[in-house]
Structure 1
Amino acid sequence: MRAPVTALLGRRARLRWVHLVLGGALLMPYWLLGTLVVAPFAGGGGMFPGSPAAQFGAYGVALPLAAVTALVPLARPMSVAAARTLCGVAPERFADGPAGSRAARARTAGWFTLHVGLGGLVAGASLALPPFAVSVMALPFSAALRESELGRFWSLDQRWLVYAGVPAGLAILIALAAAAAGAGALLARLAPVLLGPTPADRLVAAERRAAELAVRNRLARELHDSVGHALSAVTLQAGAARRVLGSDPGFVAEALAAIEATARRTVGELDAVLGLLRQGEDDGELPGRPGLEALDALLAAAGRHVSLTVRGGDVSGVPGPVSREAYRIVQEGLTNAARHAAGEPVTVTVERHENALEITLANPLPARPPAARPGGGRGLRGVGERARLLGGTAEARPVGGVWRLAARLPLTGGAR
């Protein structure tokens, strides 16, 4: 007994009933316009023709008018807002934003027409049937009602029919609730179909998510390379200074100066990345990113065991995107060497060819491999991503007792 009552009068059914009544209210302007069209053919001079045929004629004129106005792109977000709140359908099954394609606008027009069409019928019945049902139920208990037009209509010259008014009135109310519940369930079933995302909407959403993910990955690479390298360099310099604190004051001063320079440079890079995060968007280029012109300072901060060889001419004329990604690749290679082969000599070779820039970092493998860091391994993945964004290649692997990181970047690479 409880389940049928809940299906007809539960919270979900009541909300859907309200949604249908809202549809009836939205139908009214179109119905009033329909009465102007139907009135000359209704046989009466008034604006509101009284015959049921004329009323339904105005209703038939109103529905196409509603469909045409629902072709406006903004009709979809308004319909979605009402359906999300009142239809009892999961919010993620609806499309977001205005209808951008012809198919989406057609679906919205179909939904709006169905909503106002069913809503008009249910709202009209909700206004007319409850008073009628209550009056019929009161016939056995009111002599005035039995003598009224309603009593004469209901009895049909059979007085005993008056006493059937109570169950008949209840049946009318139950039928109204069942009709409203059925219409609401139909709208709830069709809402994801007509107001859900179209294939074009899904494609736009997928492209937007891919763009957002690309920006997040790019910012993550910048933070990993700049901050990770700085922390590794500062750790090494501080450790070396601590070991010779009493015996080599000159080296300690040099190490502290390198720590200061590294921290100052990294703070500037960190501010640039965090500025983009605060803005919540990617404007095409991270400001303040260093390039190959800053390579000498980077290697100087890394320590005396790092040597640089430049071949093929001056690298200052390398295109900006290639120069900046090359700097980050060298930075990540030095960070890896500092973490996994601390104290071992590192050779950095930058060779410029006619159409490409080749970067090679090599250092001896340590006698005892260090323990793997939890969550590590993102740096080399970032090196590969940087190279691929420019249409180049990168690999890192041991070769004959030497760890070798090599990257080739086309000089006509994109502007990422």
Structure 2
Amino acid sequence: MMRGIRPLLRGSTYSGMLFAYCGAVASLPLLPFALVPTLVWPSAPYGVQVVLVLLVWAVLIGAVGLARTTRRALIPLARRLLSVPLAAPVTARQRTNEPGTAPSPADRWRTPLWLLLHVALGWTGALVSGVLLVAGLTLPAMGWFRAEAGLSLFGWSVRAEPGWRSWVVVLCCLLLAAAVCAVVTHALRWSAPRLLGPSSAERLALAAERELRLAERNRLAHELHDSIGHTLTATTIQAAVAGEVLCADPVAARAALRSIEESTRAALEDLDYVLGVLREQRAETAPTRTLADLPELFDRLRHAGAVVEPRLSGELAQVQGTLSRAAYRILQEGLTNALRHGAGGPIKVRVAAEPDGLELSVVNRTGEGTGPRSFPTSGHGLSGLAERVRLLHGEFEAGPDGSRHWRLAVRLPVRLSA
């Protein structure tokens, strides 16, 4: 019994009924236009006129539901007053980002159907609950002043009698009015996700939008890992070098400190950009480092005391866009691993731009029993590189090259610009 009464005690039941009343009231401005058939055909039977008015009224309400602004206004109201989790309406831009997400003709009629149901339930609930409330509030007063008083509606009558019976009737009327509110609210709450919620095409567009956001955040995580990891490794080594030669070779120490300053400034730009995107704020400029910035990267490593032997071939300047940026980050991560885990000696870097592919390789010496797998790391370096290469449909290889060397080799399919 308590389970059946519980909905009558919830505030959301009556806020949902208020939402239904709003639908009924909002339809009133269309009623004068729906009365036009009675003016055009005044000699029609009364029943025919009523049917025509209701039909024209329903058509006008459905036409209002076809407007996009109607759906945008209904969703937050239903979410607030019905306590139903509804996704925000899909914008035209979200649909155009993913092919095959255009709304079908059936989807376009979901909002008019909801609006008709909303108005119909609003008027039904208002009339029934209003009659019950009026009966419940007036019957005791009638019974107090006139013993034979009563109410009659549509052939149904209730006679007010003094005593406890009239109060039982009052209680029943109030409970029935509350039950009507609960039924109307439940019907609206049940139909809202089905008619106002996202359709299959909109779900596809929302899923595509989420996938794009996750891909962007994943890319930013890789960018941040590569940039900050390289900077911390390089600056640690450069600081050690500057400390060792500070007295013996002040010029070299100043060069190492200057390199630390440049590296940290570049890392701060990357960090500021990534945090701006994660906070959903637009950064002023996105840091774009490409293969054209490799000489600067090699210089920073040389200031850290590393011996870098680059071998560049092909038309690297013609490698543009995402591929050039990804190649730079791959080489940056490979050189960072060489600095972090290498055992000294030259680091050989090869970049070859061929007509059908871009080849990258980093080879460094390792001590006995050492290598990237034997050092404590976050575990995201090589796996992140492999994922980046996979997304570019390339080939990735990392492992020992002989007994004393470690080799990172990547091949990316490329189209050279004309």
TM-score above 0.5, yes or no = yes
CA shift, 1:53, in A, is 8.8
Contact preservation (8 Å) 1:27, 1:120: no
Q: Deviations over 1:349-385 (max 9, x none)?
A: 22232322211111122335476446x1323233334
Partner of 1:393: 395
Contact preservation (8 Å) 1:307, 1:347: yes
| CA–CA distance in structure 2, aligned partners of residues 185 and 155 of structure 1 | 29
Contact preservation (8 Å) 1:76, 1:98: no
Matches within 5 A, 1:103-142: 103-142=106-145
Judged with a 3 Å threshold, the aligned counterparts in structure 2 of structure 1 residues 16 and 270 are, in CA distance, closer, same or farther, namely closer
Judged with a 3 Å threshold, the aligned counterparts in structure 2 of structure 1 residues 137 and 294 are, in CA distance, closer, same or farther, namely same
Partner of 1:17: 17
| CA–CA distance in structure 1, aligned partners of residues 49 and 170 of structure 2 | 27
CA shift, 1:185, in A, is 1.0
Judged with a 3 Å threshold, the aligned counterparts in structure 2 of structure 1 residues 52 and 131 are, in CA distance, closer, same or farther, namely farther
Partner of 2:71: 76
For 1:360, what is the secondary structure of its paired residue?
A: strand
| CA–CA distance in structure 1, aligned partners of residues 355 and 83 of structure 2 | 64
CA shift, 1:161, in A, is 6.6
CA shift, 1:201, in A, is 0.8
Judged with a 3 Å threshold, the aligned counterparts in structure 2 of structure 1 residues 282 and 193 are, in CA distance, closer, same or farther, namely farther
Contact preservation (8 Å) 1:360, 1:407: yes
| CA–CA distance in structure 1, aligned partners of residues 334 and 187 of structure 2 | 62
Q: Deviations over 1:21-65 (max 9, x none)?
A: 112212322334334434676779xxxx9x899667644542232
Q: Deviations over 1:330-350 (max 9, x none)?
A: 111110111112534321122
Unaligned runs of 5+ in 1: none
Return the TM-score normalized by structure 1.
Answer: 0.81
Q: Deviations over 1:182-213 (max 9, x none)?
A: 12111111111111111111111111111112
Partner of 1:63: 58
Partner of 1:381: 383
For 1:74, what is the secondary structure of its paired residue?
A: helix
Q: Give the letter aligned to residue 212 of structure 1.
A: R
Partner of 1:315: 316
Contact preservation (8 Å) 2:343, 2:366: no
| CA–CA distance in structure 2, aligned partners of residues 386 and 115 of structure 1 | 50
Judged with a 3 Å threshold, the aligned counterparts in structure 2 of structure 1 residues 109 and 301 are, in CA distance, closer, same or farther, namely same
Partner of 1:325: 326
Contact preservation (8 Å) 2:347, 2:363: yes
Contact preservation (8 Å) 2:331, 2:362: yes
For 1:233, what is the secondary structure of its paired residue?
A: helix
Judged with a 3 Å threshold, the aligned counterparts in structure 2 of structure 1 residues 338 and 74 are, in CA distance, closer, same or farther, namely same
| CA–CA distance in structure 2, aligned partners of residues 116 and 60 of structure 1 | 13
For 2:27, what is the secondary structure of its paired residue?
A: helix
Contact preservation (8 Å) 2:132, 2:174: yes
For 2:66, what is the secondary structure of its paired residue?
A: coil
Q: Give the letter aligned to residue 142 of structure 1.
A: F
| CA–CA distance in structure 1, aligned partners of residues 138 and 266 of structure 2 | 86
Partner of 1:31: 31
CA shift, 1:222, in A, is 2.2
For 1:290, what is the secondary structure of its paired residue?
A: coil
Partner of 1:295: 294
Contact preservation (8 Å) 2:355, 2:416: no
For 1:407, what is the secondary structure of its paired residue?
A: strand
Unaligned runs of 5+ in 2: 93-101
CA shift, 1:314, in A, is 5.4
Contact preservation (8 Å) 1:268, 1:288: yes
| CA–CA distance in structure 1, aligned partners of residues 10 and 412 of structure 2 | 66
Judged with a 3 Å threshold, the aligned counterparts in structure 2 of structure 1 residues 255 and 38 are, in CA distance, closer, same or farther, namely same
CA shift, 1:83, in A, is 1.4
Q: Which moved more, 1:228-237 or 1:382-391?
A: 382-391
For 1:175, what is the secondary structure of its paired residue?
A: helix
Q: Give the letter aligned to residue 27 of structure 1.
A: S
How many residues are paired up? 400
Contact preservation (8 Å) 1:77, 1:97: no
Aligned-pair identity (%): 35
